[in-house]
Amino acid sequence: MQISGRKIDDFKFDRKGITPPLPILLRLVPLLFYCSIAVTIILSVIYLIEYRLSVQKRDSHTAQAESLAAETQEALKHCTGLESQIKIATDIESWVSGSRPLQPLIVEIARSMGPRATIVDLRLDRDPNAPAQLKLAIKLGTDSTKQLDFTLEKIAGQKYRAFSPQQTLGRNELDYIATLVWQDPSARSVQPSPPNEQ
């Protein structure tokens, strides 16, 4: 079968002049495409670097926060220990300030004895909960209350005030029991509280 030449399209043609060249603006499109790919790669690398740096910073901040938390706990334990030591020191201070030296008091009681009076028994007890209070129990070998009054004056001269006194006069013996509260001379306006009732 024979095909006529008019029916066949010839696809062979010269390359020149197929289409006119691209305008200048359209020539920038491939250039912009390749530039965008390069910028994407550069930004991805920068993102990865920044991500790793931020992870390292986060880890270092987390470690620093844990270290500070441990130091805070250690400081709190230290503060608790210091507070307990301060409480012990405060208790000792109140004990010492409340327990004025007893020797001057005992010396005054001994010196207050007249020629016909003797101390049969003398006892001073302190309550740990009230260090400023003394429980005095004295037994005098006398039948005169004047001797007791003179001894109480000497005790008052040592800045002690007697509360709840009880005296019993027997045959040639005088028993006296009272609670002595030391009065601080620097606290003039503060009245001493009465002794604790037990």
- pLDDT the model gives residue 26: 78
List, in order, residues 6 or more apart from 169 with CB less than 8 Å away. Answer: 143, 145, 175
28, 93: one domain: yes
Q: Which residue range is the domain that position 145 belongs to? A: 100-182
Please give the distance of CA 64 from its chain centroid, rounded to a whole number. 23
- CA 178 vs CA 123, 130, 182: distances in Å: 11, 15, 13
Last residue of a domain, one of 64, 80, 98: 98
- pLDDT the model gives residue 116: 82
93, 104: one domain: no
Positions of E strands within the chain: 119-127, 130-140, 160-170, 173-182
> Mean pLDDT, 10 residues at a time, over the chain (198 residues)?
55 59 78 93 96 95 94 94 93 72 80 86 82 85 84 85 86 87 65 49
Say if CB 34 and CB 42 are below 8 A apart. no
- pLDDT the model gives residue 25: 79
Q: How many domains does the chain have?
A: 2
- pLDDT the model gives residue 92: 85
158, 111: one domain: yes
Does residue 150 lie within any of the structural domains? yes
Report d(CA 180, CA 125) in Å as an integer: 10
Last residue of a domain, one of 48, 83, 98: 98
59, 111: one domain: no
Report d(CA 95, CA 40) in Å as an integer: 80
104, 93: one domain: no
Does residue 52 lie within any of the structural domains? yes
Does residue 195 lie within any of the structural domains? no
pTM of the model: 0.45
Does residue 11 lie within any of the structural domains? no
Does residue 30 lie within any of the structural domains? yes
Does residue 14 lie within any of the structural domains? no
- pLDDT the model gives residue 197: 46
Identify the CA nearest to 175 among candidates 198, 153, 143, 197: 143
Does residue 91 lie within any of the structural domains? yes
- pLDDT the model gives residue 82: 94
CATH number, domain of 148, equals 3.30.1360.100
- pLDDT the model gives residue 93: 83
